[in-house]
Amino acid sequence: MNTLRSRAIKLLARREHTRAELAKKLAAHGTLEEINTVIDQLTACNLQSDARFAESFIRAKASRSGSLKLRHSMLSKGLAKTLVDSHLATADMPNELTRAKSLWLRKFAKAPANTNDAKEWARQARFLQSRGFSTDIIRRTLKEPMEQLAAEEPNEGDAA
């Protein structure tokens, strides 16, 4: 039991773990009952906290992920749906559109050279979608640069 507890503390010293992650990593070293007892003790001592993990995870990943990806990732780590939803709702992070625009600017920095370039638009949209942004946010993120580019094109044609 002591070795199980020390393994758990070593894991928690490296980074926060959810209860489910910790149980999975300790599974080869003890029975389910022993593991649950150790995790309960660690939770009582405030050494393990799913809420703290959720806060830490959101803080670390929010700048480069949309809410959909954050939610899915946290659920796959074994956090309760209610905990995930409440932490995403109360998290101190920029809104979804601001995060998507920031990520888009870091990756692309400009709109496609041709406003009719559907292939490039789709590539940029797929990038944002892979980061967990909704289709509405993606459209709004890519719409503004495309409108600016379309407004600039007639001026360039007049000058030539």
- 5, 38 contact by CB (below 8 A): yes
CATH 3.30.710 matches 1-48 = no
Residue 160: the pLDDT is 42
- Domain spans of the chain? 1-48, 50-93, 96-159
Rounded (10°) angle between helices 81-90 and 67-76: 150
- 53, 18 contact by CB (below 8 A): yes
Q: How many residues are given for the chain?
A: 160
- Side-chain half-sphere exposure of 3, counting CA atoms within 13 A: 5
Q: Tokens 């010293």 — which residue?
A: 13
pLDDT by position in tens, the chain (length 160) = 789 999 999 999 999 999 999 999 999 998 999 999 999 999 999 999 999 999 999 999 988 899 999 999 999 999 999 999 999 998 888 889 999 999 998 988 766 666 567 888 899 999 999 999 999 999 999 887 666 655 555 554 454 4
Question: Burial of 130 by CB count in 10 Å (0-12 exposed, 13-18 middle, 19+ buried)?
Answer: exposed
